[in-house]
Homo-oligomer: A and B are copies of this chain.
Amino acid sequence: MVYTETIKLRMLSQGVSDITGNVESAVKKSDIQDGICTVFAVGSTSAILINENEPMLINDLKKALDKSAPEEDIYQHVENAHSHIKSSLIGNSQTIPIREGELTLGEWQSVMVANFDVDQMEREVIIVVMGD
């Protein structure tokens, strides 16, 4: 069985939004008990992050990503190369197991979408639930 849902979020530049509730709700609606849930960020400057949703930690993560791809650096791909690089390092897709109708996230694991672009943008996330 396959259940799919699309969510759209207006996001600030460098914004991170918690979508755990949306993903849990999609799993519930699917009525799938055992399987997997794939969460995919549409867009080459966005990413899906599974980690603790704690604002100070998110700041620390952004600073760490800035070491590899600082906003104020010289790039061949002008304007937003750093946004693309951060997206590539975190990744656009994550897949989470489902057992007994629930995501198997740990106590401190939230599902978040990041908009690494230099502008605010409407971001699209696709959630696919598959299984029995």
A residues sitting closer than 8 Å to B (CB atoms) are 1-2, 4, 34-36, 38, 40, 42-44, 49-52, 54, 56-57, 59-61, 64-65, 67-69, 75-77, 81, 84-85, 87-97, 99, 104-106, 108-109, 124, 126, 128, 130-132
Contact = CB atoms under 8 A, between A and B. Distances in A.
Contacts of A126: 97, 99, 104
Contacts of A97: 4, 38, 40, 126, 128
List the 8 closest pairs (A to B, CB-CB), nearest first.
A56-B76, A57-B77, A60-B81, A42-B106, A97-B126, A44-B108, A43-B106, A2-B34
Given A2-B35, A60-B84, 19 more contacts: A4-B34, A4-B97, A35-B128, A36-B128, A40-B96, A51-B88, A56-B75, A57-B75, A57-B76, A59-B77, A60-B77, A60-B85, A61-B88, A67-B67, A88-B90, A89-B89, A93-B94, A104-B126, A130-B130
Q: Main SS of chain A's interface residues?
A: mixed
A92 B50 contact: yes
A90, A106, A131 — which one has the most chain B CB atoms within 10 A of its CB? Answer: A106
Contact of A61 (B2, B35, B84): B84
Given A76-B57, A81-B57, A40 B95 contact: yes
